[in-house]
Structure 1
Amino acid sequence: MTEPSATFLLFGATGDLARRMIFPSLYNLLSDGLLPDDFLIVASGRSDMDDEAFRKEVDAALRQFLPADRYDGDVAARFVALIGYQPVDAGNADQFAKLAERIDGRLERGLSVYLSTPPSLFAPTAQGLSEAGLITPHTRIAMEKPIGKDLASSKIVNDGIGALFVEEQIFRVDHYLGKETVQNLLALRFGNVMFEPLWNTTAIDHVQITVGETVGLEGRVSYYDGVGALRDMVQNHMLQILSIIAMEPPARMDPTAVRDEKVKALRSLRPMTAETVKHLSVRGQYTPGAVGGQIVTGYADELGQPSDTETFVALKAYIDNWRWQGVPFYLRTGKRMPARQSEIVIQFKPVRHSIFGRDGQHGAGGTGLEPNTLVIRLQPEEYIRLQIMTKRPGLERQVQLEEVTLDVSLTAAFAGQRRRIAYERLILDLLAGDQTLFVRRDEVEAQWAWIDSIIDGWREANVKPAAYSSGNWGPSSAIALIERDGASWHD
């Protein structure tokens, strides 16, 4: 499976993800000459239309979602000419047979199937592909999250796909792994001699991971209610980030070595209980407020009825292994936050002995000695900042220290290079058969095992979401979660 797939089959091609991300990503890959020769895109949806009508829809999506300077009419014309549309309903053997006709004679050169559909359609779609003769050793299949809603249902989804594909053919998508800055975590840790020796309980006080969204339900009512922030964001995106931060150094940069170490970290997460969720977790739900100067309604108002679904969650997690024993990992994510931001904060411990005075203070003026902090911003800006102590210029006899920032803006450092859509990287790797940035079955199940312990604990302890006004960083109990340990959230 070393040759790139020559055919890309997309299910859910009329959906929002396809229009916003997948087609623009494929367009960019074509524009940069990164797609294989004689490439074919077969788009499938439930709507009945011909090739030309669908190509017009794709062109309209490119005009809407590509930056103005990226859209080129000639490239767009070449791109849409690669696309054929075939309506297919899961379970309709005749339509799958017609789909197979569109791909006839191309299977030996590789077929990459992308399921941008609800998980309930994963197994029926795979079964339809099998019956139509479209699954061969040269076929790969990619699945969008969620892979189930708990450990039991994720096993059913994985079993359904696993009955027809071997694990080396299955690509579970978490788009956060396609982000440049997330991949940069690997480079930061394992490509620089100064960080890895300090990346453990000896030097690190705690770790924070924040993923804040300013939006509310945004048309996702049918999906989001009953799912909530824990399943929607923590189970996948945040635990993938945590696993990259916490993993042991892999022997080499290949899919097996990297994912072996990630799953070890995930399996080391300390499960929660009905007792520990009371002081290690916070659930919240947004009420009316203001975000970005705009008045917004509460979750229940948007939903049209009361609900116990959390739109915010904060967690204090522990990884029980030699590297991280005793180091808390604080996670928080929510909707209707004051800002859209995703970032990681590595808070180092204070120097063991301050020569500038006890507890970093020297005389009445004090020196303001602060522990070093590493901030890795994933979005909306992308940067890495290291806060260090330096002497304030002056002739004072008592040394006055001041915190300064070593700032690496990835946007500025690589100003000549276009910042790519995360899906560009993932689609390119899918076509090439590289699974490094995709999630393995045992990773998914380790993630769900920990999430299930929290959900079960909430249920047993009857933990309900606390209200927080839109435009705030969650309930006040989320602040207490970290401040009772003598730390504070990096806002």
Structure 2
Amino acid sequence: MLNTSFEPVDFVLFGTAGDLARRKLLPSLYELEKANLMHAESKIIGVARNESSLTEYQDMVKENIEKFTKEAICPETWSRFCAKLEYLQVNMKEPEDYKGFLSHVDDSRIMVCYFATPPAIFGDICRGLHSANIIDETVRVVLEKPIGNDLETSKAINDEVAEYFNENQIYRIDHYLGKETVLNLIALRFANSIFATNWDHNCIDHVQISVAESVGIEGRWGYFDDAGQMRDMVQNHLLQVLSLVAMEPPTTLDADSIRDEKLKVLKALRPINQSNYQQSTVRGQYIGGFVNGVEVPGYLDEPDANERSRTETFVAIKAEIDNWRWAGVPFYLRTGKRMPAKTSEVVIYFKRQPHNLFGDSFANLPPNKLVIRLQPDEGVEVTVMNKVPGLTTSGSMDLQKSYLNLSFSEAFQGERIADAYEKLLLEVMLGNQALFVRRDEVEQAWSWVDSIIDAWNNSNEPPEQYQAGTWGPVNSIGLLAKEGRAWYQSKAVK
């Protein structure tokens, strides 16, 4: 039975021939169809500038669904999905071309416009839609990151979109907010008193948020060298996760209640600038090495590289939140390319016991840890100390670390974990903004990040080199070691 529980949608995918659409968006829409979560009368209108027949477009979509879902197409699902597909050739900078939309969209239905294009043409698309007279209060727009290259350009892009759309129509997407384990953070914190009552400076020693990538630039030199790891990863993904870990309980689960609390965290981040960046940040750039046993080139040896580039491919930051809950609790952020494994993890280190009764087993009792794995193998686990079973004549009690698996993948075995984009696309069609980023959040994050980048640029110091296949520059280890701490050793590395 087909889903008719919500309104039909005209889903307009700008940049439908691009990498993001082919890898993520079209396969995610297919999975929603497969799960019976797309209205029977919804349409998917692919928009690109190249000429293509509908049959050619349908074949391209099918090929990429098979390629990126890595599953055989379900004939019944494909028949329904294929019938929803339409294609429109548009030069997105030419307002006249948008008149073609009039024969594809129905002004009595909700229209979702997904801008999977460079942000530089967001304004052009808005003007084109306006010129075709198809914008009203029911239209929703989804903006892909990065929204700008700094605070100034972010404001300019947001201003262009705001000329035509109200804030409640704009969905700024960060796919990390659609990951099940990120969503589970809210449930872990606020539905369980064991965590809710111990989630502050009285019980937590520090927090680590790491996003490691084993890949290099993957042919994106031009984009990445302008952005760098700070703009590409910290400004959005890491700061969004940090704000969810650190936020106060929202009054409700509605969109603005959650986003209000996240914004308070971003505003409370202690500024890092010329006066303290050396104590609080480390940036690096990878040189040649080996990843998973394969020799890889250094950043400056990648195709099309500028050998004088000082763009960072690694960032480590000691961030501090100046409020009552988190006073004295550092948040260590780390992200880099060409690292030993692809992994994203949040690790909450609880404070050690004030007195050790078990010195015969552990001279220093290790702290309890809550590990939230975002990728790979999404899950949650707690490290605790247990007695070793068995008899002893020593009179002492032997302890060992144990790992309690709190993962929903264990609790709900056999159930498929949806891709983050599936969740977010469904939320757009339902009109729920809770998992999307509000304009003031984006601009507050840029303000904090810009200060760090300015300090780096003013110092004129090059990034520290680190070998591909390692966990980053030596000084990133020192960032924690000088305070008696160490980076968590990810289980993703065999």
| TM-score above 0.5 | yes
Identify which of 384, 387, 390 aligns with 2:380: 384
* Aligned residue runs from structure 1 range 122-271, under 5 A: 122-271=122-271
How far off its partner does 1:293 sit? 0.7
Rounded Cα–Cα distance in structure 1 between residues aligned with 2:95 and 2:412:
50
Point out the more displaced range, 132-141 or 408-417: 408-417
* Aligned residue runs from structure 1 range 336-351, under 5 A: 336-351=338-353
Q: Which residue in 1 is equivalent to 2:365?
A: 369
CA contact (8 A) 1:108 1:138 kept: no
CA contact (8 A) 2:8 2:40 kept: no
Q: Which residue in 1 is equivalent to 2:492?
A: none
How far off its partner does 1:74 sit? 3.1
Residue 305 (1) aligns with residue 306 (2):
yes
Q: Which residue in 2 is equivalent to 1:61?
A: 64
* Aligned residue runs from structure 1 range 467-482, under 5 A: 467-482=465-480
Identify which of 62, 74, 77 aligns with 2:76: 74
* Aligned residue runs from structure 1 range 74-113, under 5 A: 74-103=76-105, 106-113=106-113
How far off its partner does 1:389 sit? 1.5
CA contact (8 A) 1:278 1:461 kept: no
How far off its partner does 1:5 sit? 4.9
Rounded Cα–Cα distance in structure 2 between residues aligned with 1:447 and 1:304:
29
Q: Residue by residue, what CA displacement relative to the aligned partner does 1:178-215 show, whole Å, maximum 9, x if unpaired?
A: 11111011111011110011111111110000000000
Q: TM-score, normalised by structure 1?
A: 0.95
Q: Residue by residue, what CA displacement relative to the aligned partner does 1:23-71 show, whole Å, maximum 9, x if unpaired?
A: 11111111111112311111100111121111111111111111325x2
Identify which of 14, 17, 27 aligns with 2:17: 14
Rounded Cα–Cα distance in structure 1 between residues aligned with 2:44 and 2:305:
40
- How many residues are treated as equivalent by the alignment? 481
Rounded Cα–Cα distance in structure 2 between residues aligned with 1:407 and 1:228:
36
Residue 45 (1) aligns with residue 41 (2):
no
Q: Residue by residue, what CA displacement relative to the aligned partner does 1:134-166 show, whole Å, maximum 9, x if unpaired?
A: 211110000100010111111001111111101
Rounded Cα–Cα distance in structure 1 between residues aligned with 2:107 and 2:159:
24
CA contact (8 A) 2:8 2:41 kept: no
Rounded Cα–Cα distance in structure 2 between residues aligned with 1:458 and 1:372:
36
Rounded Cα–Cα distance in structure 1 between residues aligned with 2:374 and 2:7:
29
SS, match of residue 104 in structure 2: helix
Residue 464 (1) aligns with residue 462 (2):
yes
After superposition, the Cα gap between the structure-2 partners of 1:366 and 1:30, relative to the gap in structure 1 and judged at 3 Å, is closer
SS, match of residue 94 in structure 1: helix
Q: Which amino acid aligns with 2:52?
A: M
Q: Which residue in 1 is equivalent to 2:119?
A: 119
How far off its partner does 1:288 sit? 0.4
Rounded Cα–Cα distance in structure 2 between residues aligned with 1:339 and 1:454:
27
Identify which of 24, 29, 42 aligns with 1:26: 29
SS, match of residue 107 in structure 1: coil
Q: Which amino acid aligns with 1:369?
A: L
Rounded Cα–Cα distance in structure 1 between residues aligned with 2:424 and 2:296:
35
Q: Which amino acid aligns with 2:378?
A: E
SS, match of residue 226 in structure 2: coil
How far off its partner does 1:304 sit? 3.0
After superposition, the Cα gap between the structure-2 partners of 1:73 and 1:295, relative to the gap in structure 1 and judged at 3 Å, is same
Q: TM-score, normalised by structure 2?
A: 0.95
Rounded Cα–Cα distance in structure 1 between residues aligned with 2:454 and 2:222:
23
Q: Residue by residue, what CA displacement relative to the aligned partner does 1:204-250 show, whole Å, maximum 9, x if unpaired?
A: 11000000000001121121012100000000000000000000000
CA contact (8 A) 1:122 1:161 kept: yes
Q: Which residue in 2 is equivalent to 1:454?
A: 452
Q: Which residue in 2 is equivalent to 1:439?
A: 437
Q: Which amino acid aligns with 1:100?
A: L
How far off its partner does 1:403 sit? 1.8
Q: Residue by residue, what CA displacement relative to the aligned partner does 1:266-316 show, whole Å, maximum 9, x if unpaired?
A: 111111111211111011011000000100000100043311110000000
SS, match of residue 226 in structure 1: helix
Rounded Cα–Cα distance in structure 2 between residues aligned with 1:276 and 1:416:
49
Rounded Cα–Cα distance in structure 2 between residues aligned with 1:98 and 1:154:
30
SS, match of residue 137 in structure 1: coil
Rounded Cα–Cα distance in structure 2 between residues aligned with 1:404 and 1:415:
22
What's the Cα RMSD here? 1.4
SS, match of residue 310 in structure 2: coil
Rounded Cα–Cα distance in structure 2 between residues aligned with 1:134 and 1:65:
33
Identity %: 45
SS, match of residue 214 in structure 1: coil
Rounded Cα–Cα distance in structure 2 between residues aligned with 1:73 and 1:221:
39
Q: Which amino acid aligns with 2:313?
A: T
How far off its partner does 1:367 sit? 5.3
CA contact (8 A) 1:367 1:400 kept: no
How far off its partner does 1:366 sit? 4.5
Task: Identify unmatched segments of 5+ residues in structure 1.
Answer: none
Rounded Cα–Cα distance in structure 2 between residues aligned with 1:287 and 1:217:
13
CA contact (8 A) 1:263 1:443 kept: yes
After superposition, the Cα gap between the structure-2 partners of 1:353 and 1:368, relative to the gap in structure 1 and judged at 3 Å, is closer
CA contact (8 A) 1:5 1:432 kept: no
Q: Which amino acid aligns with 1:73?
A: P
Rounded Cα–Cα distance in structure 1 between residues aligned with 2:187 and 2:205:
22
SS, match of residue 227 in structure 1: helix
After superposition, the Cα gap between the structure-2 partners of 1:447 and 1:4, relative to the gap in structure 1 and judged at 3 Å, is farther
Q: Which amino acid aligns with 1:260?
A: D
* Aligned residue runs from structure 1 range 406-417, under 5 A: 406-417=404-415
